[in-house]
Homo-oligomer: A and B are copies of this chain.
Amino acid sequence: MDYSNMKPYDVRKIIRQGKISTPTAGMCSGYAQANLVVLPKELAYDFLLFTQRNPKACPLIEVGDVGERKLKYLGEDIDIAKDIPKYRIYEEGILTGEYTDIEKFWRDDFVSFLIGCSFSFEADLIKAKVPVRHIEENTNVPMFVTNIECTPAGIFNGKMVVSMRPLPYDKIVKAVLVSGEIPKVHGAPIHIGDPKVIGIKDISRPDFGDAVTIKENEVPVFWACGVTPQAVVMNVKPKIVITHSPGHMLITDIKNIDLKY
């Protein structure tokens, strides 16, 4: 099946039937995808405040009502407990299982947080002829834990996670401007150049995702990453947290361009 030209609504229905459990990169071209964090209500205020204080790493695009599996703004007939291809459940910071459906775990006090995803600005980078190496090499984007402290909020605190894309010198300014136009999907880079400045010791060994080729005369460029909230939530070790499985995102009905304004 070619999912790239299908409508999000139709692909979500196939996902809901359990017929897709692969990463969603490349599906429904032009539409925004989203990271998921589900927490019990007692932690929701602190986490919502954490996203407000760390908007580059945690650009919220929707928050569900308490106990509500339907979303209201990101798309038609979304069931957040079924419409993502793969979920992870963490209990006290430990990954205890991966599931294609979390209906049987759903609770009346759960709150869903949907966070913008860099897939959206990568589409714009490619249109602007800025190379995106992990897409060229068909792997996951390399991600690193930095020494940059997130601004704490209540119980939540931890280091910012960044994604890295190596760029030739003559594409850096364009990449800053293009990604800077979409603050709802992490916006402009947070660092350009020497990885050590932000506490990354070995650029060839990412903490998450895959290493990519950095060619001669290319500079690593770092963006705040949607894995930050997951890393922070794991740092805090709450009794239960549900997230999407990396790369297995919610495909929304919102076009990338609509996130700009």
Contact = CB atoms under 8 A, between A and B. Distances in A.
A48 interface: yes
A63 interface: yes
Contact of A63 (B44, B49, B183, B188): B49
A52 interface: yes
Interface in A65-106: 65, 73
A40 to B, nearest CB: 12
A45 to B, nearest CB: 4
Contact of A45 (B44, B53, B73, B151): B44
Interface string A17-36: 00000000000000000000
A60 interface: yes
Contacts of A45: 44-45, 48
Interface string A238-261: 000000000000000000000001
Contacts of A60: 52
Contacts of A154: 65
Select the residue from A53, A154, A183 with max chain B CB neighbours within 10 A.
A53
Nearest to A64: B49
A52 B63 CA distance: 8
Interface in A93-146: none
Contacts of A51: 52
A68 B208 CA distance: 37
A45 B53 CA distance: 15
Nearest to A41: B45
Contacts of A73: 53, 151
The 10 closest A-B CB pairs, nearest first, are A45-B45, A48-B48, A49-B63, A52-B60, A52-B63, A44-B45, A48-B49, A45-B48, A48-B52, A52-B52
Interface of A: 44-45, 48-49, 51-53, 60, 63, 65, 73, 151, 154, 183, 188, 261
17 contacts: A44-B45, A45-B45, A45-B48, A48-B48, A48-B49, A48-B52, A49-B63, A51-B52, A52-B52, A52-B60, A52-B63, A53-B63, A53-B73, A65-B154, A73-B151, A183-B183, A188-B261
Given A52-B60, A52-B63, A53-B73, 14 more contacts: A44-B45, A45-B45, A45-B48, A48-B48, A48-B49, A48-B52, A49-B63, A51-B52, A52-B52, A53-B63, A65-B154, A73-B151, A183-B183, A188-B261
